[in-house]
Amino acid sequence: MTDDPGGDGGMLSWDESVFRDEHVFEIDYVPETFKHREGQMQSLTYALRPAVRGSRPLNVMVRGPPGTGKTTAIQKLFSEVTAQTREVQTIRVNCQVNATRYSVFSRLFEGSFDYEPPSSGISFKKLFGQIAEKLVEEDRVLVVALDDVNYLFYENEASDTLYSLLRAHEEHPGAKIGVIVVSSDPTLDVIDELDSRVQSVFRPEDVYFPVYDQPEIVTILRERVKRGFHDDVVAEETLEHVASLTADSGDLRVGIDLLRRAGLNAEMRASRVVEMQDVEKAYETSKYINLSRSLSGLSENERALLEVIATHDGKQAGDVYEAFHEQTDLGYTRYSEIVNKLDQLGLIDADYADIEGRGRSRSLSLSYEKEAILDRLE
């Protein structure tokens, strides 16, 4: 065994990498070329055009499964608007992280003033008032993107948040705010789930992002490979295999994460090329990227319930509650709310069934393999 793996022509030396630019495979990377979403970008541009002229833009509802380019489209659009005019302020709020009305407006305050609001002692009304007054004072239009708005629905905060944004001009004459809501939950009917007071004023343009098909996935991933890896690191056959696994998942982020992990696996072997074995090994982790993302946003009590369900898989809701209550001391109402959220997130299946002697009851079971969830909860 030699000390220097670089002695072999096919082996990397210690200071070499298969990556040209590893950031290309990060989740927050915005590609220079954004393929197969021209129609969606045109619709979004059409909705925001009035803002560039100083008027309130059209509101927009962006829908589509995870990993279909929705967030990238918003980032590209906001970047273009910001480059074109200073009269429009764009702020994207990640609702998985900011899942209450107050935290959404705290983020809007931070985006407006470039510093965070006081951590305590400021009412929502005052917070909102300062944001609106600054808009009027500077005569700017604010465009807010509520990304992953489904998380506001899971916390029953969506109607209040949207009502405040859409009615801003009534309390603060001259305030011009447009709203883009972005939902990654195909089962959520955004309009139907809103209060009637919000439905009456929220009549958005509808922009749908379908799942990418395999030829589209190949062209997108090929562009990432070209920018992210050195030449000849990923063979066409390997790329096609990654695209096939990505198409099966329906989530482009799986393929992007898979390429990065496969590259790291090749480096572990000190290889200059990504082989099929690197892809297969990486897929065992990358296929759960959506699960990992969902789990990362859970509170301590939500994680605790998921662990309890994992050890009581398929049991009735009442039995699960007893174990959960023993562990957390939370009441049944909060328990039921958390069950509904985990169900909406696709982490569990909460199915009603007729139980002899007990009427209708819900049985709770995991939507993923038990080990996959428990490993990621640690």
Binding residues: 68-72, 212, 224
Binding residues for ATP: 68-72, 212, 224
CA distance 52 to 190: 27
42, with CB counted inside 10 A (0-12, 13-18, 19+), is exposed
> How many CA atoms lie less than 13 Å away from 215 in the CB half-sphere?
1
SS (H, E, C) the chain: CCCCHHHCCCECCCCCCCECCHHHHCCCCCCCCCCCCHHHHHHHHHHHHHHHCCCCCCCEEEECCCCCCHHHHHHHHHHHHHHHCCCEEEEEEECCCCCCHHHHHHHHHHHHHCCCCCCCCCCHHHHHHHHHHHHHHHCCEEEEEEECCHHHHHCCCHHHHHHHHHCHHHHCCCCEEEEEEEECCCCCCHHHHCCHHHHCCCCCEEEECCCCCHHHHHHHHHHHHHHHECCCCCCHHHHHHHHHHHHHHCCHHHHHHHHHHHHHHHHHCCECCCCHHHHHHHHHHHCCHHHHHHHHCCCHHHHHHHHHHHHCCCCEHHHHHHHHHHHHCCCHHHHHHHHHHHHHCCCEEEEEEEECCCEEEEEEEECCCHHHHHHHHC
Q: How far is CA 281 from the centre of its chain?
A: 25
